[in-house]
Amino acid sequence: MPILDLIRYIVFAIFVLSAAVAFGSWAVTTRRVNPFSSAARFIRSTTDPILVPFERWLLQRGGNPQNAPWWLLGVAIVGGIIVITVTQWLGATLMRAGAAASQGPRGIIRLVVYYAGQLIIYALIARVIGSWFGLGRFNRWMRPAYRLTDWIVEPLRRIIPPFGRIDITPIVAWLLLQVMLSIVVRMI
């Protein structure tokens, strides 16, 4: 995929630029480069337009503005990973949709059923991870996950007792969803 390669090169270039900015700022701040030299003035004049917004953001949130170069580097790394991952996912989804469309209505129905099943599985995972952090069904961010998964988890809870403090019904629900999804997709 040539567009994915282009995006990777752009992300890598942004990472290298942010690493250079962070290293230059660190060199001036720690006096590895004389802060009164022309090199330090050049470094500050090129890095300040990039770092000042991060410094303001940190100050507004009670952080130390001297950490702005490292925040820039972290944002470049995490943002790059997110951009590449979303691009790969979007490309795979578009390819899958194209293959489904070439199979006609049956392929499109299969794809819709597959994505609906994946949505329920992700909601089940979100429900489990949310419970680890004490986010229950009444949390506004967790309500959709509970609404999507209660139809399979709650009946299983009545059948399967918990093992001490460990509730295995989400694992059983996940296995049942996987089996049901594979059977339904094959039947269509």
- Domain shared by 133 and 184, yes or no: yes
pLDDT at 130: 93
pLDDT tens-place string over residues 128-171: 999 899 888 899 999 999 999 999 999 999 999 888 888 899 99
For residues 62 and 119, membership in a common domain is answered with: no
> What integer is the mean pLDDT of 122-132?
93
Residues 31 and 46 in one domain: yes
Q: In which band, very low, low, confident or very high, does the pLDDT at 1 lie, cut at 50, 70 and 90?
A: low
Place of tokens 């269509």: 188
For residue 115, the number of C-alpha atoms closer than 13 Å in the C-beta half-sphere is 11
User: What average pLDDT does the segment 119-129 reach?
Assistant: 94
Which pLDDT tens digit goes with each residue over 47-65? 999 999 999 999 999 989 9
Residue 187 tokens read as 């039947």
Q: Are residues 19 and 90 in the same domain?
A: yes
CA atoms within 13 A on the CB side of 55: 11
If pLDDT is split at 50, 70 and 90, which confidence band does 176 have?
very high
Residues 86 and 157 in one domain: no
Q: Do residue 107 and residue 77 come from a single domain?
A: no
**Diameter over CA atoms, the chain:** 75
Same domain, residue pair 1 and 89: yes
Domain boundary residue, one of 69, 102, 135: 102
Residues 163 and 148 in one domain: yes
For residues 37 and 70, state if they share a domain.
Answer: yes
169 and 183 within one domain: yes
- Domains contained in the chain, number: 2
End-to-end CA distance of the chain: 31
| Phi-psi category of residue 2: left, alpha or beta, with phi > 0 → left and psi -120 to 50 → alpha | alpha
**Token pair of 79 as six digits:** 């943002």
Q: Of the candidates 102, 122, 149, which is a domain's last residue? A: 102
From 54, 87, 102, the end of a domain falls on 102
DSSP 74-120: HHHHHHHHHHHHHHHHHHHHHHHHHHHHHT-HHHHHHHHHHHHHHHH
- Tell me which residue range forms the domain holding 174: 103-188
Distance CA 156, CA 153 (A): 5
Q: CA-to-CA distance for 54 and 120, rounded, in angstroms?
A: 38
